[in-house]
Amino acid sequence: MGFAFNDVQRALIHNVRSFVRNEIVPLELELDPDESELRPSVLDGLRVKTKQMGLYNLDAPEEFGGPGLDTVTRTLLAMEMSQHRAGLYSACYGAFGQPDMAQLYEATDEQKERYLHPVLRGEKSSFFALTEPAGGSDPARSIQTRAKQDGDDWIINGTKVFISGADSADFGLVFARTGDRESGREGITCFIVDADTPGFTVRRVIHTLRSGHYPTELVFEDVRVPGSAVLGEVGQGFAMASERLTKNRIPYAAGCIGVAMAAHRLAIEYAGIRSVFGQKLADHEGIQWMLVENEIDIRSAALVTLDAAERADSGEPFRTEVALAKIVATESSGRVVDRAIQIHGGYGVTKDLPLERWYRELRIRRIGEGTTETQKMIVSRDLLRGRYAGLMDR
């Protein structure tokens, strides 16, 4: 484990940093403080620029037009990309490409043509529908949406909840039970469902404390899809979902750390400007200690997350490391933003600064993509079963 950046990483970080600070941050001045969507024409321009820089579709493998970067480098870039007002949002408003579509890389050629390539070109968007009203932490058991075979077709019935972006997406990956209830994770299949399929309804946007983000409730009433809509194999949907969720937790953690870094920078700057009791904030020990605690939180989260990324690159199992990174990064970035707000006093909670927004949004990060408790469950299981090589035993 050693995280000295190599020349390529240093150059990439530098490029992303100047792109975010020179091209993205000025655009944010015009947006509502809670908004996280740029005008499509503006976004098109940004996409062209990131393509020219060779930084479009960062997560895509080389054969699909991505730059073919390793996970450590992508993690560093995700931290850098998140250092703007709407920082937690995937890949900087989509200027750096779409969120990871890992499952679709395994799709049939026809499915790739119809879904993956348009997504990679920025022409289509998708949703990922796993969670249901009966629960999200244990989807293998709680999925009640059923898909029944009817000739060559499948008929899907059920309800999904908290599905991000489904109100405006073109298609979704929908997980449904195709085996009996006892079949558990082996009885779940992933279907690609076009959003204009009859019987598919977006019932509502669910209003949360995360602004500018749109989780929805979905209804499937006799939604008929052809056999060719099965992604992967029948009964293998859960394995596919777990793999995606595990991998996604690394950029998810990195996004939180990027925001924490941005909040920390604001706090340091402000501490040097604002005076109380005849001294700069920065000269008060109480403030200095908060800044040090921020530094500790950021460093620890970054190192644990980069360790998970390095582990992912090594080809060794990395589920436990990723779970640790998700816990540490989401929890510690929340603390950093909280301290940054405190240092800014009343201004910290106004919409003049992004801090209040980050504070709200980071709260959700302890729930989305697997809650802190389920991550602890993963780590404890592996620890107790002796599956997890401790830091000194690798």
Ligand X SMILES: Cc1cc2nc3c(=O)[nH]c(=O)nc-3n(C[C@H](O)[C@H](O)[C@H](O)COP(=O)(O)OP(=O)(O)OC[C@H]3O[C@@H](n4cnc5c(N)ncnc54)[C@H](O)[C@@H]3O)c2cc1C
Q: Give the whole-angstrom CA distance, residue 4 versus residue 173.
A: 39
Could you tell which of ligand X, other proteins, none binds residue 163, using a CB distance below 5 to 8 A set by kind? ligand X
Q: Which of 121, 367, 381, 382 binds ligand X (CB under 6 A)?
A: 367
Which residues fall within 8 angstroms of residue 123, CB to CB, at 6 or more apart?
none
**How far is 242 from 196, CA to CA, in rounded Å?**
27
* CB environment 359-390: b (16+ within 10 A), e (fewer): bebbebbbbbbbbbebbeebbeebeeeeebee
Catalytic residues: 369
Measure the CA–CA gap between 238 and 276, rounded to whole angstroms. Answer: 56
CA torsion angle 282 285 290 291 (round to 10): 40
Tell me how far apart the alpha carbons of residues 390 and 328 are, in angstroms, rounded to a whole number. 17
Report the distance separating Cα 171 and Cα 129, nearest Å: 10
Among 84, 85, 210, 319, binds ligand X (CB under 6 A): 210
Contact of residue 168 among other proteins, ligand X, none (CB under 5-8 Å per partner type):
other proteins
130 interface partner picked from other proteins, ligand X, none, CB below 5 to 8 A per type: ligand X
Could you tell me which stretch among 19-27, 95-103, 348-356, 360-368 binds ligand X (CB under 6 A)? 360-368
Burial level of 254, CB count in 10 A (0-12/13-18/19+)? buried
Residues 185-214 close enough to bind other proteins by CB under 8 A = 195-196, 200-209, 211-214
Q: Tell me if 219 contacts ligand X by CB under 6 A.
A: no
Interface mask toward ligand X for 163-182; x: CB under 6 A = xx------------------
Q: CB under 6 A: which stretch of 5-13, 49-57, 134-142, 247-255 binds ligand X? A: 134-142
Q: Is 214 in the site for ligand X (CB under 6 A)?
A: no
Pairing of β 153-164 and β 171-177: unpaired
Is 377 among the residues that bind ligand X (CB under 6 A)? yes
Applying CB under 6 A, what is the total number of residues that bind ligand X?
A: 21
Which residue from 54, 61, 68, 135 is in contact with ligand X, where contact means CB under 6 A?
A: 135
* Residues of this chain that bind ligand X (CB under 6 A): 128-131, 135-137, 162-164, 208, 210, 215, 364, 367-368, 370-371, 373-374, 377
Interface residues with other proteins (CB under 8 A)?
32-35, 37, 39-41, 166-168, 195-196, 200-209, 211-214, 216, 351
